[in-house]
Structure 1
Amino acid sequence: MGRAEDRRARQRGGRRAAPRRSSATPAAGVAGGRAAARRAARGGRPRKSGIRRLFTWKKLLGAFFGVCLLGIGTFIVLYMMVGVPKGNAVAQQESNVYKYSDGSILARSGKVNRESVSLDQVPKEVQHCFVAAENKTFYHDSGIDLKGTARGLLNTLTGKGTQGGSTITQQYVKNYYLNQDQTVTRKLKELVISLKVDQKMSKDDILAGYINTSYYGRGAYGIQAAAQAYYRVDAKDLTVEQGAYLAALLQAPSQYDWAVASDTGKTLVKQRWNYVLNNMVKQHWLDAGKRQTMTFPVPKDPQGAPGLEGQKGYLIDLADKQLEAQLMKQEGISQSQAEAEVVGRGWTITLNIDKKKQAALESAVKRQLTSKLDPKERKVDADVQAGAVSVDPKTGGIVALYGGEDYFKHYYNNATRKDYQPASTFKPVILAAALDEGATTQDGQPINANTIYDGTSGRQVVDHGTKVGFGPPNEDDVSYGNITVQTAMNKSVNSVFAQMGVDVGMQKVMDVAGKLGMDTEGMQPVPAQTLGSMGASPLEMAGIYATLDNHGKKVTPSILKSAQNKTRTAKIDDPVGDQVISRQAADTVTSVLTGVVDDGTARTSVRDNPMRDGQQVAGKTGTSDEDKSAWFTGYTPKLVTSVGLFGEDAKTHAHTSLTGATGLIPGTGRINGGGYPAQIWAQYTFGVMDGTSKFDLDTTQGAAVQPSWTPSATQSPSQTPSQTPSSPPPTTSRSPSQSPSQSPSESPSQTPSQTPSSTPPSSSSRPPTDGADGGPLLPDDEGQLDGRQPNR
């Protein structure tokens, strides 16, 4: 029956009769029949829904063409209304003014370093370097990159940051006619002006304008200033290799400046340099054979600008960098754009630097260290560099900073450099991680100030019965036997903290380090990091200890108090943030660190200092392998200061040993964290403190609230329930019972403020053990310089 109906439907024009439906009433049947008739009249198609009637393909196509016409019309109006403005690149350059926290003038940035040159004074191959780096189609395009501009507009509208893919013409327009503002209006103006400039100016004139208005870092605007700043030559004498480096710089001037770049920055700028030259080969602007013979042209060391002598240059350098970071975050601009917006743009920048504290810190470094250096008498004295940062833990403000002997003599800021190991100043981070994470030993006992560990020198670290292949020696290879965590911190016992790091879990340790303020990006969570084998700066360490001092609330040290110019006021982030570790964990670490001062490696320089006047102090010493760096980071309730000494070859800038500096006996007179760094810290801190202060600690552990003690040599950790044993110690050649004089013992007659464990024997030799970097992994200071500094 169905097939017959189909045939009849086809004969009637393709319409199939509607099937009969039963109805309850005749009226319903009639209505159904009428509906069927109407459907048959429409060819059997069902009625379209409201949405389908609204969005037909004709309407969508019409809307699309309408939007296109509207856009074209808008662009035509813009094109007619927006003219090419008068160039303002030079007019925008104004001196920045920098002030101390009290409003008095620190410095003015001085005259902008700019000198324009005509394009015929720039070698043709050097010109091609910039085209190859930024815009390979420059000589053939219309001056705009529609895709890049559209992407930039979309990113601006959605708040995703900066655009990419601008042509050289667009960048020139932005530098010379407009500004770096990330607004839709500015981007549309850039598009229109770029089209008009490309029509009115030759490509050579545009290129000349671009390379003469771009910012290259080191305060240099334009290729002539850049050639002098980086290679001490005029632009006309630049080689292709040098030109490729300057072209590569434009992507991130400060990050790619070879003199101050990190290892990552150096890798990136070399990659960019190779990219430029390889593009030149592809464009047939450079012979492939010649390209293969080219080597990277290392720039010359920077020279400070007039008016930035002494410490001024270091202070201004950090202020500029932190302001650039604020602008990048708030306005979504790139690093190179932020630098161009800060240098010479008429900012009035007030710093958190306290004039009196700054003078006191400079005086302390001079009196305790630099006055004792005599490079003519001892070559090693020329290799000693000092850096320090002092922070108010309640506000997060940097109140004093020491970047080096003189900004003119040593451009690299020692206060912010991250290329030296913080050594044992990292140990409190391990303890903070253990306490905050509620970590336990291999035996499942909680880790706290009284937990007992095996302090045998060179003891192999064990992870649940498996040796991990790491067994660091202690200072002078001294073994301590079973000691508490408190005593291990006092004596800076490497073997204890190496095991503790594995007990906590190195990933957790590095996570907590990141929370406290250390830049842990790219760091591997390996046991060697327990000895502070990563790189860190005095600025970072001051921030970490300030967070501990501030009861676990994050402190990100800031030198900026305020910043504004004619067009805007920068919003300065609050340096004090959220709670990143528990107050109890932070306060317990502080309590433990008071023992380092009163009964440990800093006692000679800090505890017994006549200027102390009852101040309660917490801190930690540190000395890296081969004595290449020495540290003391310490704090009172009101002030945190990190002092670092770094061995840097005066000619090659390579890391070198500090041993023998200031006339200390070579081989035995090592520069320790408990020596000069602690002495600088003590003179500065005790000299600027206004009254005695005590820590307000929420803890029942540590030297600040209970005596520092250790078990006797014959006492087994498992025999004392109140003591927390660590994992079973491995068999050693020298057990505590075999050498009682070398084992810490508890002395009932010792007072709580002076509760040292037994003094380990000294040794003049260091064992040649393998370090994490392939060199000796020498432990720490950690011992005093008593009798070893005849010239002090």
Structure 2
Amino acid sequence: MQVVLNRKRRRQRNKWRLAFRLLLVFLLLASGSAVALLSYTRMLGPPPIQVSQTTVIYGDNNEIIGETHHGENRYWVSLSDISQDVIDATISVEDRKFFQHLGFDPKRIAGAILANIRSGEKSQGASTITQQYARNLYLNHEKTWTRKWNELLYALRLEMNYEKEEILEGYLNTVYYGHGAYGIEAASAHFFDKDSRDLTLAEASMLAGIPKGPSYYSPLTNEELAKKRQKVVLFSMVENEMITQQEADAAFEEELIYIERPHQTLDKVGPYFHDVVHYQLVHQLGIEPDLIEAGGLQVYTTLDAEMQKKAEKIIEQEMPTNELEIGFVAMDPKTGYVKALVGGKQHVQGGFNRAVQAQRQPGSTMKPFLYYGALENGFTATTTLKSEKTDFPIDGQSEPYSPDNFNSNFAEDYITMIQALAFSDNIYAVKTHYFIGLDTLGEITRRVGLKSTIQPHPSSALGSSSVNVLEMVNGYSAFANGGFKTEPLFIKKVENIKGEILFENKPTYEQVLDPELTFIMTDLMTAMFDRQLNDYTSVTGGSVAPFIKRPVAGKSGSTSTDSWMIGFTPQLVTGVWVGYDDSRRLQTKGDSQVSKQVWAKFTEEALANELKLPFQPPRNLTALEVDPKTGLLANENCTGRLTYFVKGTEPTESCPSSEKEMEETVQEESEEEHSIFKRFLRWMNE
């Protein structure tokens, strides 16, 4: 009997010994597997954690004027910029042991496996915050064992290579809250129109409950379910001793006001302006298009949203319903900041931008550059030339150049530069072009920043060489800016999601024109609006003069196919071109007036709240009352206009007191001009 008992005891000891050995082997294998798994995940290195993030475009006043994303509206914020209530609520309801585990919770996994076995389905999940983050970054939401295994591997890799705070920050910035809002910042803006750092406990607990089922627990679709879920979140926070029961009750009872701010996926303001910004980001700054579209960049631009809206409104009102098109640019001459830009009546993504791409003949808007060159070469505001039908020889050609005036209106007399600019007299312009040299105009335009080549041809004085609106506006800015050239700027700076500056643009200044002559030229450009100068023809700005309530200067221009108006105040330079894309002739007189109407109304509305600043003359100029018809000092025999001269170049003779004296004066001027001009023509024909 004793022998039998000994055998039984021996068998039991052997069983226990075997079980212990098997357990030991299992533990060794498990430990080895764990070490191997951890070594493997460590060896794989850190997985990439970049995600699609909304790129935000800001205007000049740091207001949002547009944003881009690939269907996932997301604004990345650092953990320190997120409300602590959001962090506590999320950890409590999603993963209370987040800061203790290594990416997964074995106890939760075991419970979920048993539940799934009993139900015969994969309905129970046990994903930690790290696993959910891994799923958001790299996987889909299929309920398969393969996906769960890959999720575990990615979670381990994240935990092995990143700090807990980095993982939590990434999760809060990638989790989906419904309604196209990815990440807590986008959700906070969508539901409550505020930054995530400003969320209250009630708001934070409501949002923290949504990711479990965005289509079920959104308060915008089912507030009853959302409140039940909020209660669960608050209870978990109490259980984890993050808040008191009294705080939870108060938060649950707090009435929440939902804003439901819609997400704008298209450009909000100035689509043609955005096209230029995008082009410069890619082709000038070398930023990849995908990074621009969804890289979380912060792009700070020069656009003035209010000016842009006013420009678009006025253009819509003034443009006819036919195929007439428009190019429009408004720029701050002091900085080069482009404030508003319109490239056509209807924007098409990636379409033709007439403000920067259309090369058109500028007509008489080229004359201020020509006359500035004349001032540098000894002309004054009262230099007289005869306005009459004239044939001009062209070197190497048998046929002369024979320009005309509008409606063939010639003074058949001598006119001053004041009149020539106000009436846009073409004969005076071409004569001036010959006198100062056909290369001078091109040299002046290059100096002020025009990129297009101005040909040394007689017709270039009348704007036959093609240019675009942006460069013309930039060229005129040198007049508005006292002779300083700037470069047109669209982008002030670009930051990445960390707030690091990738690119920054500062205004540049270069003195390219003499400040005294620049002011004289600016003053001459005010004459086009002075209807008191009307004589053998009318001033070209007379039709819009009633709209103007502040000091302005400018020049209009027209060809058979193009109509231009470029004008400025000390604060703003604006250029407008209208015409047909196929270069057909302007159809009606109304077509040619649109550019002036748009310019005048925009200038007044855009600067409605700004000071009415005068153009300030340099101190060493001489100002005299001069008869604009004769160029002589005004007296009781003739009316005068305040006119500026470089000291030593001002007229010294007064208006004659009799017709005989007038005829003698005119005869002297005629002999002088014809002597010079005939010598020049002989030289050209040699």
Q: TM bucket by the smaller chain?
A: 0.5 to 0.7
Seen in structure 2, the aligned counterparts of structure 1 residues 717 and 705 have a Cα distance that, compared at 3 Å, is closer
Tell me the residue number matched to 1:102. 61
One-letter amino acid matched to 2:558: T
How far off its partner does 1:636 sit?
1.2
Q: After superposition, what is the alpha-carbon deviation per residue over 1:406-433, rounded to whole angstroms, capped at 9, x for unaligned?
A: 3238921122123211111011011122
2:347 and 2:471 mapped to 1: Cα distance? 21
Tell me the residue number matched to 1:736. none
1:514 and 1:323 mapped to 2: Cα distance? 26
CA contact (8 A) 1:100 1:353 kept: yes
Tell me the residue number matched to 2:442. 510
Seen in structure 2, the aligned counterparts of structure 1 residues 365 and 575 have a Cα distance that, compared at 3 Å, is same
Tell me the residue number matched to 1:657. 585
Seen in structure 2, the aligned counterparts of structure 1 residues 578 and 112 have a Cα distance that, compared at 3 Å, is farther
How far off its partner does 1:695 sit?
0.5
One-letter amino acid matched to 1:510: G
Matches within 5 A, 1:361-372: 361-367=311-317, 369-370=318-319
2:501 and 2:457 mapped to 1: Cα distance? 44
Identity of aligned residues (%): 23
2:619 and 2:527 mapped to 1: Cα distance? 15
Residue 414 of structure 1 is aligned with which of 354, 359, 372? 354
Matches within 5 A, 1:155-166: none
Tell me the residue number matched to 2:307. 357
Seen in structure 2, the aligned counterparts of structure 1 residues 339 and 426 have a Cα distance that, compared at 3 Å, is farther
1:704 and 1:310 mapped to 2: Cα distance? 51
Seen in structure 2, the aligned counterparts of structure 1 residues 704 and 724 have a Cα distance that, compared at 3 Å, is farther
Tell me the residue number matched to 1:552. 483
How far off its partner does 1:495 sit?
1.7
1:703 and 1:365 mapped to 2: Cα distance? 39
Q: After superposition, what is the alpha-carbon deviation per residue over 1:430-477, rounded to whole angstroms, capped at 9, x for unaligned?
A: 112222xx32xxxxxx222111112213442589xx999323111122
One-letter amino acid matched to 1:485: M
CA contact (8 A) 2:563 2:578 kept: yes
Q: After superposition, what is the alpha-carbon deviation per residue over 1:676-721, rounded to whole angstroms, capped at 9, x for unaligned?
A: 2111111111123223221002388899975532479974777557
CA contact (8 A) 1:449 1:702 kept: no
How far off its partner does 1:635 sit?
0.8
Tell me the residue number matched to 1:679. 597
How far off its partner does 1:552 sit?
0.6
How far off its partner does 1:617 sit?
1.0
2:595 and 2:399 mapped to 1: Cα distance? 34
Mark the structure with the bigger radius of gyration.
2
Does residue 647 (structure 1) correspond to residue 589 (structure 2)? The answer is no
Tell me the residue number matched to 1:760. none
How far off its partner does 1:510 sit?
0.6
Seen in structure 2, the aligned counterparts of structure 1 residues 97 and 598 have a Cα distance that, compared at 3 Å, is same
How far off its partner does 1:111 sit?
2.0
Does residue 691 (structure 1) correspond to residue 611 (structure 2)? The answer is yes
Tell me the residue number matched to 1:589. 521
How far off its partner does 1:85 sit?
9.6
1:461 and 1:622 mapped to 2: Cα distance? 24
Tell me the residue number matched to 1:605. 543
Tell me the SS of whatever aligns to 1:671.
helix
Matches within 5 A, 1:35-184: 91=50, 94-111=53-70
Seen in structure 2, the aligned counterparts of structure 1 residues 452 and 725 have a Cα distance that, compared at 3 Å, is farther
Tell me the residue number matched to 1:580. 512
Matches within 5 A, 1:380-779: 381=322, 383-408=323-348, 411-435=351-375, 438-439=376-377, 446-460=378-392, 469-481=400-412, 482-521=414-453, 523-566=454-497, 568-599=500-531, 601-609=539-547, 612-613=548-549, 615-624=550-559, 626=560, 628-648=561-581, 654-660=582-588, 669=589, 671-672=591-592, 675-689=593-607, 690-698=610-618, 706=626, 708-710=628-630, 715=663, 719=667, 725=673
Seen in structure 2, the aligned counterparts of structure 1 residues 718 and 356 have a Cα distance that, compared at 3 Å, is same
1:477 and 1:310 mapped to 2: Cα distance? 48
Seen in structure 2, the aligned counterparts of structure 1 residues 458 and 687 have a Cα distance that, compared at 3 Å, is same
Tell me the SS of whatever aligns to 1:366.
helix
Seen in structure 2, the aligned counterparts of structure 1 residues 84 and 589 have a Cα distance that, compared at 3 Å, is farther
How far off its partner does 1:642 sit?
0.7
2:268 and 2:671 mapped to 1: Cα distance? 53
Seen in structure 2, the aligned counterparts of structure 1 residues 590 and 101 have a Cα distance that, compared at 3 Å, is same
CA contact (8 A) 2:328 2:469 kept: yes
Q: After superposition, what is the alpha-carbon deviation per residue over 1:179-234, rounded to whole angstroms, capped at 9, x for unaligned?
A: xxxxxxxxxxxxxxxxxxxxxxxxxxxxxxxxxxxxxxxxxxxxxxxxxxxxxxxx
Tell me the SS of whatever aligns to 2:544.
helix
One-letter amino acid matched to 1:453: L
Does residue 322 (structure 1) correspond to residue 280 (structure 2)? The answer is yes
CA contact (8 A) 2:391 2:400 kept: no
CA contact (8 A) 1:389 1:539 kept: yes
* Structure 1, unaligned runs of 5 or more: 1-82, 114-305, 329-336, 375-380, 440-445, 649-653, 661-668, 732-792
1:618 and 1:586 mapped to 2: Cα distance? 12
CA contact (8 A) 1:591 1:703 kept: no
Q: TM-score, normalised by structure 2?
A: 0.53
How far off its partner does 1:343 sit?
5.2
CA contact (8 A) 2:275 2:350 kept: no
* Structure 2, unaligned runs of 5 or more: 1-42, 73-263, 532-537, 632-658, 680-686
Q: After superposition, what is the alpha-carbon deviation per residue over 1:107-135, rounded to whole angstroms, capped at 9, x for unaligned?
A: 1123289xxxxxxxxxxxxxxxxxxxxxx
Tell me the SS of whatever aligns to 2:501.
coil
Q: TM-score, normalised by structure 1?
A: 0.47
1:467 and 1:104 mapped to 2: Cα distance? 61
How far off its partner does 1:316 sit?
0.9
One-letter amino acid matched to 1:564: E
CA contact (8 A) 2:384 2:417 kept: yes
How far off its partner does 1:310 sit?
7.7
1:407 and 1:538 mapped to 2: Cα distance? 17
2:624 and 2:596 mapped to 1: Cα distance? 20
1:461 and 1:538 mapped to 2: Cα distance? 31
CA contact (8 A) 2:362 2:564 kept: yes
Matches within 5 A, 1:154-233: none
Seen in structure 2, the aligned counterparts of structure 1 residues 414 and 706 have a Cα distance that, compared at 3 Å, is farther
Seen in structure 2, the aligned counterparts of structure 1 residues 310 and 100 have a Cα distance that, compared at 3 Å, is closer
One-letter amino acid matched to 1:697: P
1:397 and 1:458 mapped to 2: Cα distance? 43
1:657 and 1:722 mapped to 2: Cα distance? 38
CA contact (8 A) 1:452 1:723 kept: no
Tell me the SS of whatever aligns to 1:431.
helix
CA contact (8 A) 1:432 1:585 kept: yes
Seen in structure 2, the aligned counterparts of structure 1 residues 514 and 307 have a Cα distance that, compared at 3 Å, is farther
Tell me the SS of whatever aligns to 1:471.
coil
Once the two structures are overlaid, the 10-residue window that deviates more, 567-576 or 419-428, is 567-576
One-letter amino acid matched to 2:568: Y
Alignment RMSD: 3.7
